[in-house]
Amino acid sequence: MNSSVNAIENAAISAGLHSRQERIQEAQVLLQRTQSIFERFGGDELKSSHAKFAELSRSLEADRNVMLVFVGEFSRGKSSLVNALLGIKLLRHAQEATTAINTFVRALPAGRTERFIRVHFVDGQSAQEIAWTDASALERWSTELDALNADARLSVDRIEIFMQHPLLDLGLVLIDTPGLESMVQHHEEITRRAIAEAHIAVWVQSALQLGANASEWKFVAGTLRKDFSKFITVVNMWDVILDTPEGKSEAMSDATLSDLKLEHVRANFRKQLHDQPEAELALMTDQQHLMGVSAAWALSDDEHKRARSGVDLLSKRISDMFCNGEALEQIYLKPLKQLAHIQEQLSERIATEQRQLASTDTEEQRARDLALLDEEIKNLELEMRTLANGSAVEHTRAARHRAREIEHQLIAPLANLKAQVEIHLTVGYIESQVAKKVKKIGLPANVAREFEDVVGTVNQLWQKERQLLAESLEGLRAEYEKSMAQHAKQLNTALGEMHITLPKLDVGFDLDLSLIEDHHAQALELEQTIAEREDELERLRLKVQQNAPNERDIEMARIALERAESQLDRLGGQPAPRTGNKSVKRSGGMYSSDRHENEEYLDYSNVNSWKEDLARQQENLVDKAARMEFIKQQELQKTGVRLSAEAALRKYEKELQTFNRKKQAAEQARQDEQQHLVSATLAQLTAATVGQLQQRISYLQEHVSGSVQQLYDNQLALLHSCVSEQFVEPLSDKRTQRESVHQLLQQGQADVVRREQQLQAAQQELAQLVQQTQATGR
């Protein structure tokens, strides 16, 4: 059945999307009408303004789609919540069914009428389309239920689901992400990018675990800090709270009970984001950004449950965020401000041409003005080149100084910490921990504290260096602006008789250092991944060599198998403690957030079991008399002949010798295995501490200088662009405009009158557009 038949349009979200589309359409119309006038009366020299029309149009068109991303751990009900908001059961939402791949739900492309699935792969191969003829087609690719496609899923980059639905047709794009704890790395990168580009991010928690777990906070915390205003935290399965005796009681309303229970979540926000400004924490956890909902109740046939589900409040909040606040500023108000600036520039150009046509200057005076403009344009360009050269030297000098300071402030403490860890992390230390039967072997307590302190200090130092870097760039920007302003003043004086003035240079752009930090964090993580993959590849190569076919080993294995038939041989030698893996927190330090890694721990349960069995057998052998009597009775039962004491003694001694040989062999094997465990544990702990510190040190040494220099170069290029756009292009345009008027006056009075009428009409139309733009942008 076609999905549109079952679609239930969510009124609140639909209204928000309609409003958003209408506002974008209004802005597009204003942009198109302004562009039409500009193409007729704007100068070709105003290249930057020409380019802005296309940029603004693309920006408005791109914002017709509204990206709503859902993140959260497995079994939190993300898919169910998508279903509740759409009003259809799009994805399987049983608790055991968990989305395995980033899934994008979009409207059907133009010209398509049947729903379908498009699968994108990580290796660059062409996307694969799957006809969505039944529910199983979707389940095979978007959940982990179908084991037959488990291997194929590892190579999948993302899935796009195209279908017809009123909300999707209005531009809504829903993104359902994998569970955070077991997310494949390339899926994690897609999820982070989706959150960064999304207009709204919904973090889905569960009422079964109020406050979220460590893996959720590990992933979300960094994003929350940067984009906290776009997040809504939704505690799903809220029916668990409301459908209790406390919730059913008339003494407490749903709102009061919900606020009481959500305080646990707020407390966890304050704990996990303790260094976040209090005002931002308050915003993240207010009623507009933190709420309990029940997707199950929203999809229920029970009207009373649907009313209590809270999904209607969530829908209204999402709708408000589509059309108000920061979202409106980005998609609507900023483009209108830029459009108003272009309209102002165009109006001034038309007025200038009108004044030129009405001027009583002689032809000789106009020619002199053109020559003066030519001269001043050359002077301006020369001044720009001179200033650019001087500013480039200053930018390079400042970049080198800041790079040296950053390297000194950040590398020195990391290098000292690395040396301290190397001193304490030895074979003897690991052996002592194994002898004490420590299950979780980490750094010595004092070194571990120093490790945490230094990493925290380095992060603080980076924030300080980051501020100094921003101040250095701002200072250079101010000096550049001051120098250009002085030259502009001289230029305006020279052009005063021609009534030409240049605006005050505006270099009020900001360089977003967070983007650079994100880039370096991702690069550092990728370098770590590459190193891990190389180590893994080397281990696999060694394993292949070690496991090459060996006839002698095969024969010995067969003999060992036969020997294992007896009870004593089945027991074998004492095993080394088992190794397991636990998820432990690793501080990310510079450029990286905290992360978790697998760390070996020791499990002595099998050792203890072996010792108990060994003790029982030794107990039998120690009592010599009892053992000899047992041997005699055993022989009597088998042969009917009772052994003499001497014969029983010989058999006992032989048995004891055999046992002692096996005991010694088992002890040697245990020692060998324990030594291997010590070496492996030391290598792993060293890689997790010394290795990571060295990696960060090397990364800083190799990348800081170039990265900082690139930042200063980028600013210099932006400054040159500002001067060209605000000084050179307008001045060149005025020169071209005056030349055109001069030529027009030579053609005859009729042409002049016709041009004046065109300019008058354009000015009137433009005045109306200015009013409409100002009214729309309020």
Cβ–Cβ under 8 Å, residues 174 and 66:
no
Task: Single out the residue of 602, 592, 597 nearest to residue 684, CA to CA.
Answer: 597
Distance, in Å, from the CA atom of 152 to the CA atom of 143, rounded to the nearest integer, reads 12
CB proximity list for 70: less than 8 A, separation 6 or greater: 78, 81, 82, 174, 175, 176, 177, 201, 202, 204
Q: How far is CA 288 from CA 131, 150, 283, 314, 426, in A?
A: 40, 39, 8, 9, 54
Segments of the chain with pLDDT less than 50: 1-9, 93-99, 144-149, 502, 505, 507, 549-602
CA 435 distance to own-chain centroid: 43
Q: Residue 55 is encoded by which pair of tokens?
A: 């940029």
Tokens 């940067």 correspond to 226
**Phi/psi at 760 (5° precision):** -65, -40
Instruction: Select from 732, 733, 720, 725 the least CA-distant residue to 384.
Output: 720
Domain 62-243+253-331 has CATH 3.40.50.300: yes
Q: Which amino acid appears at position 152 of this protein?
A: A
How many angstroms separate the Cα of 338 from the Cα of each of 56, 57, 61, 396? 8, 12, 16, 32
Quick check: 465 and 409 in contact, CB under 8 A? Answer: yes
Domain ranges across the chain: 62-243+253-331, 363-511+682-746
Check residue 568 and give its pLDDT: 36
Question: Dihedral sign, CA of 112, 117, 120, 126?
Answer: negative
Using CA of residue 523, residue 524, residue 526, residue 527, what is the dihedral sign?
A: positive
Whether the pTM exceeds 0.85: the reply is no
Q: In whole angstroms, give the CA distance from residue 557 to residue 47.
A: 81
Report d(CA 720, CA 741) in Å as an integer.
30
Element (H, E) at 234: strand 231-236
Which pLDDT score, from 0 to 100, does residue 556 have? Answer: 46
DSSP annotation of 63 reads T
| pLDDT value at residue 553 | 43
The predicted structure's pLDDT at residue 766: 92
> Which residues touch 435 (CB under 8 Å, ≥6 apart)?
none
Cα 742 to Cα 46, 101, 163, 365, 751: the distances in Å are 20, 66, 61, 11, 12
pLDDT number for residue 764: 93
- Between CA 99 and CA 78 the distance in angstroms is 9
Q: Where are the alpha helices (DSSP H) in 324-362?
A: 325-328, 334-358
